[in-house]
Structure 1
Amino acid sequence: MILITGATGTIGSEVVKALLPDHADHLRVLTRNPGAGFPEGTQKVVADLGDDDLAPVLDGVRAVFSLTEGLNIAAHGQRLIAAARRAGVERIVKLSVRNVAHGATDPISTSHRADEEAIRDSGIAWTFLRPTGFMSNALNWAGMIAGDQVVYAPFAAGRGAFVDPADIAAVAAACLTQDGHAHRSYELTGPEPLSPADQVAILSKVLDRDLHYAEADPAGSVAQMVSYGMPEEYASAVIEQFRSTLEPWSAQPTSHVTAVTNRPPRTFADWARSHRTELLSPASW
């Protein structure tokens, strides 16, 4: 049995898709939402990684996709690791962040680093997936695209080799089900470094819209996220992650997606074409 945590999120839902139908009836999906729906061939378990007793969640599980986020990355990770050890889990594939590999000290990277260290110490075979920023973050621009067609985002000078969540999921599925990935860390990127203005220019062509980019103040971006209901501490941590696009390594693509999946990662234009409807209809996501 394979356990997928964060199964309703951007990455977790893609991992479920990547494992089906080949591993149908051998997938357990964890959600806090009793009403969440999943594809046929999955076994839904309603629980929270903050729960004291995760034994029922891990019963019979041999591989875990560990996705912890928010302000509880390390705490939830430690509970999951302890339960996995007791259950006899054989491998953990953890979704981390690329910043960990480059000495970043922002709160999110620090928490992921602590979680990685705890997994190493667990004695369970591990694989760490360290992606750069997700292409899907551009969905946050859908309201601006549909509105005045000016996209506001911070760090105009930043460039990132952003990655398609489906490519992360393809790597995760391979690491969960194939040998040869134990005790390896993969930095997952797309094929090209892009600035915010580059991304907006590509979206303009794909969506056939006259879009323009304008640099946003980081403090204003934090305030906007808080207005949407995100805790201020977490919003500030997210902006610090975005700030890493100013670092030289952020723009450097890697070959790790290709090495694991035997195919090149998708371009941002490819991703945008496949998500055209969501980008033009902000109420749909």
Structure 2
Amino acid sequence: MPRFAANLSMMYTEHAFLDRFAAAAQDGFEGVEFLFPYEHAAADIKARLDDAALAQALFNAPPGNWANGERGIASLPGREDEFRRGLDIALDYARVLGNRKIHVMAGLVASEATRETQRALYVEHLAYAARAASAHGIDILIEPINTRDMPGYLLNRQDDAQAICAQVGAPNLQVQFDCYHCQIVEGDLTIKLKRDIARIGHIQVAGVPERHEPDRGELDYPWLFALIDELGYEGWIGCEYRPRAGTSEGLGWVRPWLAKRA
């Protein structure tokens, strides 16, 4: 049966961030994820998790200057020391919050002339991150992201992500399979899930094309949830979407699953 984690960066934005945990638990969620925790002390977030009896599923390593448009630094030459310091910070937060998954964002391609150089550095940094994280029992995730929402992002396709994992060869380096991004870039989700499930460490959902609740649009999510169960996936499914209106009001699609787990 699917285990759903509310994405608190996109959902419950009608509440202050630290108040979103209680709101998600009130609606029946057992887990949460979000983009970045670094504006808050790890102990403060952990207290909210514990108070609401929630599990932390996932967050991202520091991405560089997000407000100025950076989308990860793992592939950016000259940022090596910053990347390693950021990974240490992410591992510190994960040890407090209890999650076993950290997403490392690749970054934007400076130009087509630099793509291969950046990819090589990305692979090098992922190998380093996987080694550092394995000492703490933590998995490193990489995520293909569509070029419409994030133009210029280095990693866009599932097969490329799987090839990078194979190249690094670390068992704790896995792919974050975002159904929304995959549908926009390449589609054929059923075949890709069947092909790649052994190396998929986290799944996320949203409606396509508008990134609202996954109860309308191009994808048949009940079919996909049944397939994911059939394939034996036991991880979290992150609800990384922007509610059309109020978050709680739009949860009709997931309430039957949340009720079954209650």
Give the TM interval when normalised to the shorter protein.
0.3 to 0.5
Flag the structure with larger Rg: 1
TM-score, scaled relative to structure 2: 0.36
Tell me the TM-score normalized by structure 1.
Answer: 0.34
